[in-house]
Amino acid sequence: MTDYDIAIIGGGPVGTALALALRGSGLQVCVLEARPSAGSTDARALALSYGSRLLLDRLGVWDKLQDVSLIQTIHISQKKSFGRAVLQARDMQVPELGYVLPYPMLQNTLTTALQGSTTKTIYGASVTGLLTQEEHAVIDYQLDGAPHTLTTRLAVVADGGKLLAERHPPDLRDYGQSALITHVTCANPKAGTAFERFTPQGPVALLPYKDGYEIVWTAPHQDMEAMLAWDDEQFLSELHRHFGDRVGVFLTVGTRTCFPLGLKKAPAQSPMPHVVLLGNAAQTMHPVAGQGFNLGLRDAWDLAQEIRDAAPASLGSDEMLAGYRKRRKLDREAGITFTDSLVRLFSNDLPMMSAARAASLTALDCLPFAKRFVAKRMMFGANG
């Protein structure tokens, strides 16, 4: 006998989405969350694809989200070079290509929806150990200073993957870049238009949000300390010089935060029997093209379908986990390769590469089938 059929370690958006997708399955599901309470104070904005909107709609939460800004056009360009491509929702026959919304809004909406289900959520649970036996996994955790243990047919690690990193080290690649994130306003905002501009120092993205843009400005690690030290006037001036004049003069800037960028890929999505890695525990990617969370949400949806299709006694078995890996392989590998290739091909100033990139952007803009292919991958992943 086990305490639960499914135990999800990590109650962030991806882990909570999995729990929501399992509502009504008849399975005993538990979520272990290290945060002491349900609320989130994370100040970031999050970019969602149109495909993610459809999944959230299936989970019954999309119409409950507020403060959502639309992305109907994506403008892609390269600094100091000709060539650009423009993707538009109307050409793809969808209402929007994507959306920008506050991370806390998504987290809190998902959490509220889960509270109406039979899923048990244990807040303040710090997981300290994860072992597997022949027919189940054993999870050790601390709660209010006291040790606890539970058993489960399938343990889903959705908290970033540190729990298993020592025993099953992920493949790592340091891009030598950090990302600076903040909110800016400008003189001539383009409603519904997102910008992805490639520079030798790394890409800079402007995501339309409320009265301005959320920006993700990547630069080498050694430059980031100075960038964080700029006063508002210098920051806005440097951003205008770096990005160009497509949205006019930048007027105001909010609080700035930064974090290092790299590729982290777990060698296996199911490193042990009765254990599976989900979202950032399975892969953490560069934010270029905004694929990370959207890939994680598709991970959660497909895992839920695999769980629902399996007999309860087979949860966590080699056969069940092999089915999930097969289901996710193409989309996962394609998403990782896509973002990794963009970073490595566009973050340099080699003359021949610059010309080739410009020609590629021009070709993309001129070939409708190529636009549809790229936009479909960005919206729905490689599985469509």
181 against 267, higher pLDDT: 181
The domains of the chain are located at 4-40+108-170+262-346, 175-259
Region 54-69: mean pLDDT is 96
Q: What is the per-residue pLDDT across 65-119, written as a single tens digit (0 to 9) for each?
A: 999 999 999 999 988 777 889 999 999 999 999 999 999 999 999 999 999 889 9
Q: What is the per-residue pLDDT across 301-315, written as a single tens digit (0 to 9) for each?
A: 999 999 999 999 999
| Full-model pTM | 0.94
First to last CA, the chain: 39
* 175-259: CATH number: 3.30.9.10
* 4-40+108-170+262-346: CATH number: 3.50.50.60
Least confident of 28-32, 135-139, 212-216, 267-271: 267-271
Do the domains at 4-40+108-170+262-346 and 175-259 have one common CATH topology?
no
Ranges assigned E (strand) in 254-377: 257-265, 275-277, 283-284
Specify whether the CB–CB gap between 278 and 157 falls below 8 A.
yes
- State how far the Cα of 198 lies from the Cα of 76, in Å rounded to an integer: 8
At residue 222 the predicted structure's pLDDT band, cuts being 50, 70 and 90, is very high
Q: What is the per-residue pLDDT across 116-161, written as a single tens digit (0 to 9) for each?
A: 889 999 999 999 999 999 999 999 999 999 999 999 999 999 987 7
With a cut of 70, say whether residue 252 has pLDDT above it. Answer: yes
Q: What is the per-residue pLDDT across 329-349, written as a single tens digit (0 to 9) for each?
A: 999 999 999 999 888 888 777
